[in-house]
Amino acid sequence: TTHRQMSEEEQAKAGVTPDMIRISVGLETLDDILWDIDNALSAAAKT
């Protein structure tokens, strides 16, 4: 279940807040995952 399928009350009970993001990763190496996250956050900061 993703947080979008939950009511606001259910999200609050689960500790999910509006400023959280969910990251789903595959089988890449840790370095690849961290590189992807760093690039995504850098790109988001520019908008």
Task: Provide the residue-wise pLDDT of the chain in tens; the chain has 47 residues.
Answer: 677 899 999 999 999 998 988 888 889 999 999 999 999 999 999 98
Considering the entire predicted model, what is its pTM? 0.56
DSSP 8-state symbol, 23: -
Token couple for 1: 């279940």
Query: What confidence score (pLDDT) does residue 1 get?
Result: 60
Contact 16, 6 (CB under 8 A): yes
